[in-house]
Amino acid sequence: MENTNIRKLYISSEVRFYTISDIQEMLGWSKKTVQKLFNDPRFPATDFGRIKVVEAHALIDYFSKRHEKDRERYWQ
């Protein structure tokens, strides 16, 4: 007999990384703006060799929270 009160958590085994040009294309932002985003210490970017990347789940998590340019010192 199966316990219906237990939730199963399915996590994708696929890991996807996005580069600056990928984010630029997705959001339609300028290269300069996306580079500034990747250099923001709060943004979850990492270096993969000489290329800056962000993992897809970390990107979703970052954009699911409110960020205001006026209140964040980095963007001023």
Residue 28: other Cβ atoms inside 10 A: 7
Tokens of 2: 């199966």
Give residue 28's pLDDT. 96
Count of domains in the chain? 1
Residue 8 lies in a domain: no
Write out pLDDT tens, residues 21-47.
999 999 999 999 999 999 998 899 999
**Binning pLDDT at 50, 70 and 90, where does residue 65 land?**
confident
* 25 lies in some domain: yes
Point out the least confidently predicted range of 17-26, 41-50, 60-69: 60-69
DSSP character string of 14-45: ---EEEHHHHHHHHT--HHHHHHHHHSTTS-E
Q: What is the mean pLDDT of the chain?
A: 83
Whether 51 maps to a domain, the answer reads yes
pTM of the predicted model as reported, rounded to 2 decimal places: 0.69
Residue 43: inside a domain, yes or no?
yes
Range of the domain at 38: 17-68
